[in-house]
């Protein structure tokens, strides 16, 4: 009981944000030719910088240690790194016999990285007396102006939090979804990425069944730097209207976060009325994986892929477990404050997107 009480006190005293800067190669796009490899595990950072010395010879430095916290708008983030750059010399030649290199302790001087709490892929770097912006190297840059649409091609595993406001939801609050986007429609403006909710997490493709009952489409809003996607949760049947999930997302290379909205397709005021539920997603299948029909170690048995599945609805499942209603969720104002997403700004475009599904 004492441990529970202590933990409750810690959580009440500090509002910690779910935040981890992105690991990978970082650079300053305005100063290409050098860069930093950054790896972050929990709150420990390791970096290796490939740069040049005063004589123009390529060299590299490393630094490692723990991230420290800063407070932004009442939330605490592990987003600051202060360390020392250590150099190396007289090391092993490629293909030659191994011997340990000479370590030049502190040769690169102090280094500081402050990661942007609003964007895990951007930061400011201070070293050698200069402060400059850096960002995660985006390999989708090769796709040019359409890279934000192209980056969505692949399989995404999603966790939906059926947000319980004041304990209004009695059942287990977390639900999963698997979204596949496998083609781009360039006949629209903006371009659309299209796909489905997968039949299972093993198939890695959009079967005819998935396209018939759970097709999906999305677009990138360049003005707001946001992705919006819609998924058919249940097709219309008799007097029952269709159901939809609308995703409003901030997307990185391999993950996203934002909110999802559930609504009936016969309500002219929807989407845009909420409620909204927190959602996080992670790339679980690559572009090549879905474009090659799930080729790879996670591919499902062919008979499994062809089996006819019973049409399902995530919204109906949640309501069945919660007395026939959906949890209250977040309001549009709370979504704006937490994620910076103006859900109402996408209403008209989402209605167009909804009309395109099932065709």
The whole-number pLDDT of residue 283 equals 92
Residues of the chain with confidence (pLDDT) below 70? 1-18, 142, 169-170, 267-269, 293-311, 359
The whole-number pLDDT of residue 269 equals 57
Q: Tell me: do 211 and 266 sit in the same domain.
A: yes
Q: Tell me: do 334 and 189 sit in the same domain.
A: yes
In eight-state DSSP terms, residue 237 is B
Q: Tell me: do 81 and 205 sit in the same domain.
A: no
Q: Tell me: do 318 and 178 sit in the same domain.
A: yes
Q: Which two tokens stand for residue 51?
A: 């740069």
Q: For the domain that residue 273 is a member of, what is the CATH number? A: 2.40.128.120
Please tell me the distance from the alpha carbon of residue 143 to that of residue 150, in angstroms, as a whole number: 7
Q: Tell me: do 194 and 112 sit in the same domain.
A: no
The whole-number pLDDT of residue 320 equals 85
The whole-number pLDDT of residue 61 equals 96
Q: Which two tokens stand for residue 70?
A: 């800063």
Q: Tell me: do 89 and 183 sit in the same domain.
A: no
CB proximity list for 239: less than 8 A, separation 6 or greater: none
Phi-psi region of 318 (alpha: psi -120 to 50; beta: other; left: phi over 0): alpha
Among the candidates 99, 116, 137, a domain finishes at 137
Q: Tell me: do 87 and 168 sit in the same domain.
A: no
The whole-number pLDDT of residue 356 equals 85
Contact of 323 with 194, CB cutoff 8 Å: no
Q: Is residue 340 part of a domain?
A: yes
Among the candidates 137, 167, 192, a domain finishes at 137
The whole-number pLDDT of residue 338 equals 85
The whole-number pLDDT of residue 7 equals 39
Q: Is the pTM of this model over 0.85?
A: no
Q: Is residue 9 part of a domain?
A: no
Q: Tell me: do 33 and 132 sit in the same domain.
A: yes
Measured CA angle at 237 (ends 233, 240), to 5 deg: 80
Among the candidates 119, 137, 155, a domain finishes at 137
Q: Tell me: do 297 and 156 sit in the same domain.
A: yes
Type and span of the H or E element at 352 = helix 347-356
Please tell me the distance from the alpha carbon of residue 250 to that of residue 256, in angstroms, as a whole number: 6
The whole-number pLDDT of residue 297 equals 41
Is the Cα torsion angle 110, 116, 119, 124 positive or negative in sign?
negative
Q: Is residue 6 part of a domain?
A: no
- For 14, other C-beta atoms within 10 Å of its C-beta total 12
The whole-number pLDDT of residue 311 equals 67
Q: Tell me: do 197 and 113 sit in the same domain.
A: no
Q: Tell me: do 335 and 267 sit in the same domain.
A: yes
Give the domain range for residue 69.
Answer: 14-137
The whole-number pLDDT of residue 18 equals 64
DSSP per-residue letters across 37-72: EEEEETTEEEEEEEEE-TTS-EEEEEEEEE-EEEEE
Q: Which two tokens stand for residue 253?
A: 């290379």
Q: Tell me: do 234 and 300 sit in the same domain.
A: yes
Total domains present in the chain: 2
Helix/strand/coil for 173: coil
């Amino acid at each position: 009981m004492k441990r529970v009480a202590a933990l409750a006190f810690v959580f009440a005293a500090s509002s910690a944000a779910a935040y981890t800067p992105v690991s990978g190669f970082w650079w300053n796009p305005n100063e290409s030719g050098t860069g930093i490899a950054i790896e972050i595990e929990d709150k420990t950072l390791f970096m290796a910088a490939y740069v040049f010395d005063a004589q123009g010879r390529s060299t590299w430095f490393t630094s490692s240690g723990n991230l420290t916290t800063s407070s932004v708008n009442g939330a605490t983030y592990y987003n600051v790194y202060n360390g020392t750059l250590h150099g190396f010399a007289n090391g092993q030649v490629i293909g030659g016999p191994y011997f340990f290199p000479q370590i030049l302790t502190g040769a690169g001087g102090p280094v500081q990285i402050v990661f942007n709490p609003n964007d895990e892929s951007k930061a400011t770097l201070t070293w050698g007396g200069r402060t400059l912006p850096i960002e995660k190297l985006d390999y989708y840059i090769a796709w040019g102006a359409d890279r934000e649409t192209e980056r969505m091609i692949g399989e995404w595993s999603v966790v939906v939090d059926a947000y319980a406001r004041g304990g209004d939801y009695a059942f287990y609050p977390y639900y999963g979804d698997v979204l596949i986007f496998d083609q781009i429609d360039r006949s629209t403006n903006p371009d659309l990425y299209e796909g489905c909710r997968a039949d299972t997490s093993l198939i890695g493709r959009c079967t005819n069944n998935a396209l018939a009952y759970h097709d999906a489409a999305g677009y990138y809003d360049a003005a707001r730097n946001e992705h919006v996607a819609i998924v058919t949760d249940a097709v219309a049947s008799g007097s029952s209207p269709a159901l939809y999930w609308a995703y409003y997302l901030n997307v990185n290379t391999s993950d996203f976060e934002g909110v999802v909205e559930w609504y009936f397709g016969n309500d002219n005021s929807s989407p845009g009325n909420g409620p909204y539920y927190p959602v996080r997603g992670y790339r679980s299948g690559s572009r090549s994986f879905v474009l090659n029909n799930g080729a790879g170690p996670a591919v499902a048995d062919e008979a499994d892929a062809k089996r006819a599945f019973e049409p399902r609805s995530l919204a109906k499942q949640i309501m069945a477990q919660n007395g026939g209603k959906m949890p209250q969720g977040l309001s549009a104002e709370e979504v704006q404050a937490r994620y910076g997403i103006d859900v109402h700004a996408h209403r008209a475009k989402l209605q167009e997107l909804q009309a395109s599904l099932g065709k």
